[in-house]
Amino acid sequence: MTVHAASAEIASLDTQFAQLDLAGRLSLAATLGHAVLTTSLGIEDQVITAAIGTHRLPIEVSTLQTGRLFKETVDLIAETEERYQLSIRRFHPEQDDIDAYAAKHGLNGFYESIEARHACCHVRKLIPLAKALGGAEVWITGLRRGQSGNRATTPFVEFDAERSMLKVNPLADWDIDTIKLHVARNAIPVNPLHARGYPSIGCEPCTRAIKPGESERAGRWWWENDEKRECGLHVAEQPASENAQNATAIVNHRA
Ligand code: SF4
């Protein structure tokens, strides 16, 4: 199969996802391989977790316990497990890695430079994420096009070259009003911080409430000027050509 054919197959999958409702999209994702949702307990992830629990879909739910989360976020884990009768797997950073970071940068050294911030996210998020996705073939996320300009072209399905796996974004085309309506209609438990001006919630020292007119993710790492700031979970670092070759390999493997 050529690179072009692999890209065409992913494009075809993307078209299929576009025609389905949320439960249908998640069901289709589960047929593509061992699927894992990594939840931050944000409103989008709560919508997806509710669908997984309600429809008893064969999708693992995992979360990254960075050690710097809001109490409200941590409390929501148990509440969600109870409500949907499912287990959410917790992945923690290694204490040795945290100690090494603190020795080099200081515990809150992430305010000092983008490099130091990325190093903290690497220790507290990226390394645990690699464990959470170990053995998975499909990574399900709550990414939406409306969250920020950086996410405006989010597809329903893409190839994550960093991790050599498919990435499915079943809420890519949902706007925030649709999300809120769905949450209200289905009485889905959400983080109380959303109602206090936090549409996007990460670690406590790196998240603030947004101001009127700001983008949904403006409260994340607000002291940095880069409009495309992310924690590295959803940023590809490989060149496009390598990305395409790996996509070919995984589609061939699946065929
Ligand atoms: S969001 Fe902040 S505290 Fe959390 S891992 Fe990244 S830099 Fe560290």
Closest CA to 64 of 50, 74, 56: 74
Ligand 1 site, residue 10, Cβ cutoff 6 A: no
The DSSP output letter for 138 is E
pLDDT score of 240 more than 70: no
Ligand 1 site, residue 105, Cβ cutoff 6 A: no
Query: Residue 110 in contact with residue 206, Cβ under 8 Å?
Result: yes
Atom 2 of ligand 1, nearest CA residue: 206
Better-predicted residue by pLDDT, 85 or 227: 85
Residue-averaged pLDDT of the chain: 89
- Predicted TM-score (pTM) of the model is 0.88
Ligand 1 site, residue 66, Cβ cutoff 6 A: yes
Closest CA to 125 of 93, 88, 89, 83: 93
Ligand 1 site, residue 231, Cβ cutoff 6 A: yes
What local confidence, expressed as pLDDT, does residue 232 receive?
A: 65
What is the position in ligand 1's atom list of the atom closest to the CA of 123? 5
- Mean pLDDT, range 71-86, rounded to an integer: 98
Say how far apart CA 159 and CA 154 lie, in whole Å.
12
What pLDDT digit, counting tens, does each position of 109-163 carry?
999 999 999 999 999 999 999 999 999 999 999 999 988 777 889 999 999 988 9
Say how far apart CA 70 and CA 191 lie, in whole Å.
10
Active site residue 33: no
User: The domain that contains 219 carries what CATH number?
Assistant: 3.40.50.620
What pLDDT digit, counting tens, does each position of 49-76 carry?
999 999 999 999 999 999 999 999 999 9
What local confidence, expressed as pLDDT, does residue 111 receive?
A: 96
What pLDDT digit, counting tens, does each position of 18-30 carry?
999 999 999 999 9
230 C-alpha to ligand 1 centroid (Å): 11
Domain that holds residue 237: 3-254
